[in-house]
Structure 1
Amino acid sequence: MSRERRSLYHFAHARAGDKGDRLNLAVFVYKDEHYRWLLDQVTEEGVYQLFAHRGVTGVKLYPMPNLAGINLVLEDVLQGGVNGSLNLDGHGKTLSSLLLSMTVESPVSR
């Protein structure tokens, strides 16, 4: 039996920051018991594919088990950085929304 697929934002929230052409995204599940599920659903490869259209060259995931979250660092995804890009909306907070739109399998209810 397959689980329902939904957007990540149903199960987690995110914070974002940018410096130059590097984006930092932190994702935290709403329920601590979903932390292991988060690690299975949000992978470096999956995030890389989600941001491929923006020219990302690398994604590194750092687990944060004590906070029930993960920290993702994306390289070369800001199209030159805030000061070097003509794109006014493609930074920080708007890209955390893109991540939260990622389709994931719903966690198993207990």
Structure 2
Amino acid sequence: MKKLAQIAHSRAGDKGNTLMLSLIPFEEKDYPLLLQEVTAERVKKHLGFQVQGEVIRYELPLLNALVFTCQDALTSGVTTSLALDAHGKSLSYALLEMEIDAG
């Protein structure tokens, strides 16, 4: 088992109550592993403490990247949230804590 942080990096963005998380491998050869192991369902389960809505995975093969759109993830939205991290930036680090079967 490996943590995603060992093979990839992540960035976070937000729009209202929606969080976007990118996942980009350090090395191109690891992109197929991310495709196989990091599904929308696994991300939803891993971030279940924060993400209340649907998680959708988008594949960007020309960039060797994945983007996850997480609905209802920012406690009503940045401008009205009382959360310490209203923008969800720390959730990119939480995603990188996910363990995957890397062979």
TM interval, short-chain normalised:
over 0.9
Report if the CA contact (8 A) 1:82-1:88 is conserved.
Answer: no
For structure 2, the residue ranges without an aligned partner over 5 or more in a row are none
SS of the residue corresponding to residue 22 of structure 2 reads: strand
Structural RMSD (CA): 1.3
Q: Which residue of 2 aligns with 1:105?
A: 101
Q: 1:27-69: CA deviations, max 9, x gaps?
A: 1001101111101111010011112222421010010111111
- 2:27 is aligned with 1:31: yes
For structure 1, the residue ranges without an aligned partner over 5 or more in a row are none
The correspondence of residues 1-110 of structure 1 with structure 2, limited to 5 A, is: 5-106=1-102, 108=103
Residue identity over aligned pairs, in percent, reads 37
Normalization by structure 1: what TM-score?
0.87
Q: Distance in 1 between the 2:95 and 2:52 partners?
A: 13
Q: Distance in 1 between the 2:52 and 2:65 partners?
A: 22
Higher helix share: 1
SS of the residue corresponding to residue 37 of structure 1 reads: helix
**Equivalent residue pairs, number:** 103
**Max radius of gyration: which structure?**
1
**Which runs of structure 1 show a deviation greater than 6 angstroms over 4 or more consecutive aligned residues?**
none
SS of the residue corresponding to residue 49 of structure 1 reads: helix
Normalization by structure 2: what TM-score?
0.92
